[in-house]
């Protein structure tokens, strides 16, 4: 399945506004975390950068558990879900969603 075909399915897992906003906050936290790793941690930054994919999960998964009442798409299609997550966040920030 192509990403263009999967994105509408991904969005169907994210109909709740609070869940979507938690995803945006998680992605912003991820960007901030990477920035801090690159700026302050110097020698340890590469080790800490390995944790980057896990920064968003407390935000996103709490949105699914408490508000959507469904399983995150990352459980079935992790790579596509991550790409769609960034697309969805960009669409929310730019007002497309």
Straight-line distance from the first to the last Cα atom of the chain, in angstroms, rounded to the nearest whole number? 23
Domain with 41, as residue range(s), is 3-93
- The total domain count for the chain is 1
What is the Cα gyration radius of the chain? 14
Could you give the CA distance from residue 73 to residue 40 in angstroms, rounded to a whole number? 33
pLDDT of residue 43: 67
pLDDT tens-digit readout, 10-66: 999 999 999 999 999 999 999 999 988 887 766 666 778 888 888 988 999 999 999
pTM of the model as a whole: 0.87
Q: From start to end of the chain, where are the E strands?
A: none
Cβ of 76: how many Cβ atoms within 10 Å? 11
More confident residue, 70 or 45: 70
């Amino acid at each position: 399945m192509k990403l263009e075909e999967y994105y509408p399915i991904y969005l169907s897992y994210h109909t709740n506004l609070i869940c979507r906003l938690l995803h945006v906050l998680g992605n912003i936290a991820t960007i901030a975390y990477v920035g801090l790793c690159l700026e302050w941690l110097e020698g340890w930054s590469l080790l800490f950068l390995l944790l980057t994919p896990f920064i968003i999960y407390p935000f996103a998964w709490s949105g699914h558990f408490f508000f959507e009442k469904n399983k995150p798409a990352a459980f079935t299609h992790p790579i596509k879900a991550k790409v769609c997550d960034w697309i969805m966040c960009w669409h929310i920030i730019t007002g497309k969603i």
